[in-house]
Amino acid sequence: MSFLRTVFLWAVLLPCGSFAADSLTVAVASNFHTAAKEITAEFTNATRIPVRISSGSTGKLYAQIVNGAPYDVFLAADSARPALLEASGAAVAGSRFTYATGALVLWSSDITLKNKECLEALKTGSYRRLAIGNPLTAPYGYAAKEFLQAIKLFDVAESRIVFGENISQTLQFVATGNATLGLIALSQVKGGLPITASCSWDVPLTMHTALDQQAVLLSASKHRDAAQRFMSFLQTEQVATILENHGYTVSE
């Protein structure tokens, strides 16, 4: 895989020529926004191709794409929606791949949980509200629901759950104290939070469906060559290092 990534990087960094006038619009799942900003900055620096990021929940971005939103590339937080786009012809056949795998963290900034265990607080009900992403639109919310079901607490906790429209809003709920606990993305923790955690617990990957995040090139793209260069750039060693620094796992 290292050899392939080297080849991809060599191809991406070839002289830009006509690509310099192109620009890309990339739909990015909320959990990936911070990493995407770093990646797109590196891509633009190397190729002189500007990239605009549009961030939101995977479900809402998918709906926008289906309804004709002018995106070039979709960086989802799951594999299901990119697969649907590819199957329907809305994405280029064969362009889909897993660019990163994410993870969940049970997190709190509530002072009452300082030096205590987040998981214990969840199990004993020692919290006011629990924030998770909306399972219908946010893959991290769906994984959070699966985790709660796996430990047989979803039904117990349901009346105290507040649903974020996406994982960014979920973090906002728990960081501002509107929720005592939150199931957020590890990438958000690794990205540096403006507030110190009172407790934090990494959810085992075996306790929910793998958060395989897939990228797909959209058929409606008007900048196909530049978009393909960006897709290749995502598979380089340079990007793999960025992803790992943000708490993602990268397949070899």
- CATH C-level class of 104-202: alpha beta
Task: From 187, 46, 197, 191, select the one nearest 118 (Cα to Cα).
Answer: 197
The SS3 assignment for 130 reads: strand
**What is the location of CATH 3.40.190.10 in the chain?**
2-101+211-245, 104-202
What pTM did the predictor assign? 0.87
User: Looking at per-residue confidence, does 251 or 87 come out higher?
Assistant: 87
Residues 251 and 101 sit within 8 Å (Cβ to Cβ)? yes
Q: How far apart are alpha carbons 27 and 12 in whole angstroms?
A: 20
- Read off the pLDDT of residues 23-75 as tens digits, 9 standing for 90 and up: 899 999 999 999 999 999 999 999 999 999 999 999 999 999 999 999 999 99
Q: What is the pLDDT of residues 134-183, one digit of tens each?
A: 999 999 999 999 999 999 999 999 999 999 999 999 999 999 999 999 99
End-to-end Cα, the chain, rounded Å: 6
- CB of 229 closer than 8 Å to CB of 47: yes
Architecture of domain 2-101+211-245: 3-Layer(aba) Sandwich (3.40)
